[in-house]
Amino acid sequence: MSQVRPYGSWPSPITAERVVAASVSLGEVHVGDDDVWWAEGRPEEGGRVQLVRHRPGGAVVDVLPEGFAARTRVHEYGGGAWWLHDASLFFVNWADQRLWRLQPGGRPVPLTPEPAIPAGDRFADGVLSADARWVICVRERHHPEPDHEPTNELVAVPAHPDDGPTGPVVVASGADFYSCPRVSPDGRYLCWTQWNHPAMPWDGTELWVGRLAERDGDLSLTGARRVAGGPDESVFQPGWAPDGSLRYVSDRTDWWNLYRIPAADLEAGGSAPETPFATVAGDIGQAQWVFGQSRWCVLADGRTLVAYARDGVDHLGIVGSEGGPVVAVPGPFTELSSLRAFGRGAVCVGGTPTAEPVVALLEVTGEPSLEVAVLRPARDLGLDASWWSRPEPFAFPTSGGATAHALWYRPTNPEVTAPMGERPPAIVVIHGGPTAAARARLELGTQFWTSRGFAVIDVNYRGSTGYGRAYRRALDGEWGVADVEDCVAAARHLAGLGVVDPDRLAIRGGSAGGFTVLRALAAGDTFRAGASLYGVTDLEALARDTHKFESRYLDTLVGPYPDARDRYVERSPIHHTGDLRAPLIVFQGLEDPVVPPSQAEALVAALAARGVPHAYLAFEGEQHGFRVAANIRRVLEAELAFYGKVFGFEPADELPPLVVEHLP
């Protein structure tokens, strides 16, 4: 028989320890001739990224020896830190950011020399030349002078140096950013994407192609030309099909759809086609915050498999060898990444609303239908499916007659019910970015709250991806306004339906989401509590001090700086601490290069000076986003204790003490 307990005080087996123990994150997948490899981020190993190999017959082994981790700091967000060629692994080691090679039975060997400053030369997103003599990749070079912006280029690194590491050869330079170097099947061409300040890769990206040649023992490019993209078009994941055609994703029709330039057209000097090769009312592309993303692949039979987002949910689709409309392939996954051809089918990382992500082998058969074999299963959490709150996509009206989107999670606990007539507290969750999206997959961090009697509203406010270019660009010039209005509207919409308690609404977010949290708390009294994780407080400081990748991001989201300085000041939470009245808990990594700790410290000092209830937890060694298991646990437990104190309920958990300054 169910217990009757107030919302928020429900006992739950989804403890902070369980969240962390199950929070090994699956990264990219790559394939060899007969094996599949993937990356695992392991909080219990201090956030180390280990590479795992699935051999024929099912044996699974860790690849990297002790002391090595595959993670790059290019753009600070990384991704694309490793790749395969035949039996050789090439990877960027986290500690020194050098490029290394690991061959079967051997030890890692460095391919790049020690840079002039520690970790000053960083590499990402590589590929091997057709003869396997060169690694072509992105290099981000940092300079000793503090006011010298890092230099991004495409470089070629000898893959098998005879006399030790040698300096890379620059093959493309001059643009502010590069990504996705990919070699054609015949080895003659290299394609890549590039873009310049102030654009981000989801704003305006160019696709280039050049002919590879060796000259005086070095690799070079000739005849380089732009074939697609521009200031108002985002190009994503270019690559080559086995027939030599160049494929890429573009949002020129509003949706990120797949295009093809035939090999003969490239030879003749042709460029972008006007119509997509694969058409779908959904986004195949994603915001390129990290390198190495893969949302389409060409199968062995010539068909193309794609992943696309619609209404906050990922879907699988397929199109024939001649192109056309994408045909949906029903399957279990609502979140898909790292889609790559393998054998007769493909592999991917797939998540569902009731299981953590897995590495899966996919085969598309007739009708079409999907056969799934799991290579890396989700951990057995020991819980029945009745514990899981499923995401429910919904749309709601917001300011200016617009419509915004969110995922709604109901309080769910099979062993507890709430007192008659009580409505649950709700946590409005703000994703980071802000050009990113909430995705419909099982997140134990979300279930931590729903199983204790909280509702969760995961808002895909205007500016989020997965709803087309126009929706994504609706945040241009409006960050700190439209996102706040949408989060308030989502909370009020559900409160108006009577499914959440309007007097117990909290809002939480990290990074850009933390900025929205602070703006929303200052904008009115909709939210009675907030949690900011490494959140932006000072837009001017962010524009002046942040890393190269995002150094001009705010030109689009807010306005060019310093011309629009008044707008930066007006929207910066640090200048509106007098409007902050609701209790706030702040979490910050002390080695964060994206949002420096000084921003959190200035905010907390202002709250203390005004007597606003608050708590502040800072973590040594953490950067932008928490990766250490003990810290992740501490954040969850502290936030639960904080809401208990603010909303007046007693959590069922045994929690470490938390002092909330100035709380009555």
The DSSP line for 494-549 is: HHHTTSS-TTSEEEEEETHHHHHHHHHHHH-SS-SEEEEES----HHHHHHHS-GG
Cβ(451)–Cβ(387) below 8 Å: yes
Strand order in the sheet with 60-62: 25-31, 36-42, 48-54, 60-62
541: number of CA atoms within 13 Å, CB side?
Answer: 19
How many angstroms separate the CA atoms of 408 and 390, rounded? Answer: 8
For 264, residues 6+ apart whose C-beta sits below 8 A from its C-beta are none
588: number of CA atoms within 13 Å, CB side?
Answer: 24
pLDDT band at 272 (very low <50, low <70, confident <90, very high): confident
- Computed over every residue of the chain, the mean pLDDT equals 95
The better pLDDT of the pair 149, 546 is held by: 149
How many angstroms separate the CA atoms of 241 and 185, rounded? Answer: 8
Assess if residue 420 is contained within a domain: yes
Assess if residue 160 is contained within a domain: no
Residue type, 580: L
What number is the average pLDDT over the span 589-611? 90
Assess if residue 250 is contained within a domain: no
Residue type, 589: G
Cβ(307)–Cβ(348) below 8 Å: yes
φ/ψ of residue 45, rounded to 5: -110, 30
pLDDT of 596 over the 80 cut: yes
How many angstroms separate the CA atoms of 272 and 275, rounded? Answer: 9
SS3 214: strand
φ/ψ of residue 473, rounded to 5: -85, -5
The pLDDT, as a whole number, for residue 604 is 94
For 366, residues 6+ apart whose C-beta sits below 8 A from its C-beta are none
Quick one: tokens of 465?
A: 């991806």
Of 291, 268, 156, 140, whose CA–CA distance to 212 is shortest?
A: 156
How many angstroms separate the CA atoms of 454 and 418, rounded? Answer: 11
Which secondary structure element, helix H or strand E, spans residue 638, and what is its range? helix 629-647
Assess if residue 174 is contained within a domain: no
Q: CATH code at 524?
A: 3.40.50.1820
Cβ(535)–Cβ(511) below 8 Å: yes
Domain count, the chain: 1
pLDDT of 499 over the 80 cut: yes
Of 118, 90, 89, whose CA–CA distance to 104 is shortest?
A: 89
Residue-wise pLDDT tens digits, 79-120 = 999 999 988 999 999 999 999 999 998 999 999 999 999 999
Assess if residue 281 is contained within a domain: no
Quick one: tokens of 135?
A: 């690694």
What number is the average pLDDT over the span 266-281? 91
**What share of the chain in percent tops pLDDT 70?**
99
Residue-wise pLDDT tens digits, 167-223 = 899 999 999 999 999 999 999 999 999 999 999 999 999 999 999 998 888 899 999
The pLDDT, as a whole number, for residue 89 is 97
Q: Would you mind telling me the total number of residues written for the chain in this entry?
A: 664
Start-to-end Cα distance in the chain: 37
Q: Quick check: pTM over 0.95?
A: no
- Got the DSSP string for 150-193? -EEEEEEEESS-TTS--PPEEEE-SSSEEEEEEE-TTSSEEEEE
What number is the average pLDDT over the span 566-592? 94
pLDDT band at 545 (very low <50, low <70, confident <90, very high): confident
pLDDT of 459 over the 70 cut: yes
pLDDT band at 146 (very low <50, low <70, confident <90, very high): confident
What number is the average pLDDT over the span 592-618? 91
Quick one: tokens of 646?
A: 């603010």
Assess if residue 550 is contained within a domain: yes
Name beta bridge partners: 141: 121, 151
Residue-wise pLDDT tens digits, 409-432 = 999 999 999 999 999 999 999 998
Range of the domain at 523: 3-15+384-647
How many angstroms separate the CA atoms of 88 and 100, rounded? Answer: 10
The pLDDT, as a whole number, for residue 164 is 73
Region of 462 on the Ramachandran plot (φ > 0 left; ψ -120 to 50 alpha; else beta)? beta
Lowest-pLDDT range of 138-147, 492-501, 624-633: 624-633
pLDDT of 1 over the 70 cut: no
What number is the average pLDDT over the span 631-637? 95
How many angstroms separate the CA atoms of 341 and 604, rounded? Answer: 50
What number is the average pLDDT over the span 276-300? 97
Residue-wise pLDDT tens digits, 553-574 = 999 999 999 999 999 999 999 8
∠ CA 78-625-80, rounded to 5°: 15
Residue-wise pLDDT tens digits, 330-364 = 999 999 999 999 999 999 999 999 998 999 999 99
pLDDT of 22 over the 70 cut: no
Assess if residue 163 is contained within a domain: no
Assess if residue 498 is contained within a domain: yes
Quick one: tokens of 228?
A: 């697609």
What number is the average pLDDT over the span 586-605? 90
The pLDDT, as a whole number, for residue 544 is 87
Regarding beta strands 25-31 and 426-430, do their DSSP bridges make them parallel or antiparallel, or are they unpaired? unpaired
